[in-house]
Amino acid sequence: MGKPMQVSRFWRHFKEKYRLVGSKCKKCGKIHFPPRQVCNECGSREMEEIQLSGRGKVISWTIVRNPPSGFEYYKPYPLALIELEEGPIILAQLTDVDPEEITFGMEVEMVTRKIREFNEDGIILYGYKFRPPIK
Amino acid sequence: MRKAVIIGVGMTPVGEHWKTSLRDLAVEALLNAMEDANIDKVDSLYVGNMISGPFVEQENLGALIADWAGLGHIPAVKIEAACASGGAAVQEGAKAVMSGLEDVVAVVGVEKMTDVWPSDATRYLAYASDAEWELFHGASFVALNALVMRYYMHTYGYTEEDLALFAVNAHINGAKNPYAMFKKPIKVETVLKSPYIADPLKLFDASPVCDGAAAVIITTPEKAKELGIPKEKWVEIAGMGRAIDTINLANRKDLLTLKAAKVAAERAYKMAGVDVKDIDLFEIHDAFTIMAALSLEAVGAAERGKGAELAKEGQIAIDGDYPIQTMGGLKARGHPVGATGVYQTVEAALQLRGEAPNQVPDAEIALTQNIGGTGSNITVTILRRV
């Protein structure tokens, strides 16, 4: 991969990707991640921000062995659908876990990790990944 | 509203066409279709293509292809709906004819995927996901389909072997199609022994990266008569439906229902005045074996969770109740993404004309279903022998 796009493309999502901020519909109460302008349950446009806890359970997972360019360095890596305790499902990489030990319903928590680097210009993207909770 | 009939079809073989460019593939398929219809001009051109920009650094395909096919100063545009671009282009062409705005329309679907490295192809395909929230995290389309596949197997108790039956069926049929990329039957073991590309999804659960182009010519029955096209060659576009779902798989209300396909199929059945029992063959979107199972459920051929049962019971074979992928499907014919929906249309038309190499006896009505994204943008079209 060559040069990244404008840095602004990445920093405009700091809130979501660093802190896991979603949206909650004031009318029907549905919680969304990523946040939406329009509720996909009731069509309302009245939204408020909601801080998600970052705790959830694995509902499906895969091991990516032929990644899209830019992610070759990390392969193979586990990627999962996680149902957050507030309801929404989120797609994220799992980290600090042996791929053999991933199970349906496994509890996980959000952590901030490096997502990828762009070689030439050196921009580094961070964001959420999920790991088994540290007890 | 006027009726629309397909009066000509054309294709290039699907494969790794390293010596042929996107424009030459498209022009070849288009000229083949025009020759089949015995016409030398059209009112308009619709190009189904997903992603020529990143793949070959060329957009404005309407102008490119109409110009190089010598079609003169006609209107020509590219239609994009991810991997459903071809199906959408056929429907846009049919709509133009049905509305009365245009009398003779050409539709060509084309994709050239082998001019870039495989990892770049994987990246470009993922532009049709919710890239900011899926590709950003290193999700390929294979990975997204693998997440659905594992969940499906877990929910309904299917094995990797069960889903492999879809690939086996596709290869049996593809072996008889001279335009297919893979003309070799395979066994369940072949699928199971192929390497994981995103567990539990294996190389032989997936369609290949490839190149190809297919084209159809659409007009009204009146015009077809005027042009002297024999009726045996007419195939009516009897029903059309199209719908979207959440672009982001994680936001799907039900991960195991292709809701967009369900809605699109209902619209198409209603328009054609038929139901699933009337369909003689199904060209569905088996980009991954799991999508074949979910597609059969979405178009009503199987109940929820029972799609893979049809494969186990042998009902998806040419002589079964629900024959699918009669020319190899995406798995064996190949899946040049933006061209696939047009290939499906051509193959269904050949079946209805009684000219298919793997003929479904007395086929009268066919259904094509073309999926874009991870089920986010889907077309269903019903074709009928006139």
pLDDT of residue A5: 63
pLDDT of residue B378: 98
Burial (CB count within 10 angstroms: exposed 0-12, middle 13-18, buried 19+), residue A43: exposed
CB B90 within 8 A of CB B340: no
Give A81 to chain B, closest Cα distance, Å. Answer: 7
Residue A51 structure tokens: 């801080």
Residue B383: helix, strand or coil by DSSP? strand
Contacts of A127 in chain B (CB under 8 A): 136-137
Q: Phi first, then psi: what are they for B214, rounded to 5°?
A: -140, 155
- Name the residue among A72, A88, A84 with its Cα closest to residue A130: A84
What's the order of all strands across the beta sheet hosting B76-79?
Answer: B76-79, B44-48, B105-112, B211-219, B5-11, B235-244, B377-385, B365-372, B281-283
Between CA B222 and CA B229, with CA B227 as vertex, the angle to 5 degrees is 90
The whole-angstrom separation of Cα B292 and Cα B328 is 12
Task: Kindly determine whether residue A62 and residue B147, on different chains, have CB atoms separated by under 8 Å.
Answer: yes
Residue B22 carries which DSSP code? H
Which residues numbered 88-127 in A keep a CB inside 8 Å of some CB on B?
Answer: 88-93, 104, 115-116, 125, 127
The whole-angstrom separation of Cα B187 and Cα A34 is 43
Q: Phi first, then psi: what are they for B14, rounded to 5°?
A: -90, 140
Task: Kindly determine whether residue A91 and residue B150, on different chains, have CB atoms separated by under 8 Å.
Answer: no
pTM passes above 0.95: yes
- Picking from A60, A67, A125, the nearest residue to B147 by CB comes out as A60
DSSP B124-184: HHGGGS-TTTTGGGT--HHHHHHHHHHHHHHHHT--HHHHHHHHHHHHHHHTT-TT-S---
pLDDT of residue A10: 84
Catalytic: which of B83, B171, B210, B285?
B83
Which residues numbered 36-65 in A keep a CB inside 8 Å of some CB on B?
Answer: 40, 59-65
The whole-angstrom separation of Cα A28 and Cα B76 is 45
Q: Within chain B, which residues score under 70 in pLDDT?
A: none
DSSP B249-282: GGG-S-TT--HHHHHHHHHHHHHHT--GGG-SEE
Q: Would you tell me the crossing angle of helices B289-298 and B160-174 to the nearest 10 degrees? A: 90
Please tell me if residue B126 touches chain A, with a CB cutoff of 8 Å.
Answer: yes
Please tell me if residue A79 touches chain B, with a CB cutoff of 8 Å.
Answer: yes
Contacts of B118 in chain A (CB under 8 A): 66
Query: Catalytic residue at B83?
Result: yes
The complex's ipTM works out to: 0.96
DSSP B274-324: --GGG-SEEE---SBHHHHHHHHHHTTSS-TT-HHHHHHTTTTSTTSSS-B
Please tell me if residue B133 touches chain A, with a CB cutoff of 8 Å.
Answer: yes
Task: Kindly determine whether residue B150 and residue A60, on different chains, have CB atoms separated by under 8 Å.
Answer: yes
Predicted confidence band at A2 (pLDDT cuts at 50, 70, 90)?
low
Percentage of chain A surpassing pLDDT 70?
A: 95
Q: Is the Cα dihedral B329, B331, B332, B336 positive or negative?
A: positive
pLDDT of residue A92: 98
Predicted confidence band at A109 (pLDDT cuts at 50, 70, 90)?
very high
Q: Which residue has the higher pLDDT, B265 or A8?
A: B265
CB B349 within 8 A of CB B6: yes
The whole-angstrom separation of Cα B17 and Cα B20 is 5
Please tell me if residue B135 touches chain A, with a CB cutoff of 8 Å.
Answer: yes
Instruction: Tell me the per-residue pLDDT of A55-95, one tens digit each, with 9 for 90 and over.
Output: 999 999 999 999 999 999 999 999 999 999 999 999 999 99
The whole-angstrom separation of Cα B281 and Cα B295 is 13
B373: left (phi over 0), alpha (psi -120 to 50) or beta: left
Contacts of A81 in chain B (CB under 8 A): 147, 151, 249-250, 255
Does the pLDDT at position A1 exceed 90? no
Please tell me if residue A23 touches chain B, with a CB cutoff of 8 Å.
Answer: no
In chain A, the residue whose alpha carbon lies closest to the alpha carbon of B153 is A60
Please tell me if residue B90 touches chain A, with a CB cutoff of 8 Å.
Answer: no
The whole-angstrom separation of Cα B278 and Cα B4 is 20
The whole-angstrom separation of Cα B292 and Cα B298 is 10
pLDDT of residue A4: 58
Task: Kindly determine whether residue A68 and residue B126, on different chains, have CB atoms separated by under 8 Å.
Answer: yes
- Name the residue among B335, B326, B381, B333 with its Cα closest to residue B355: B326
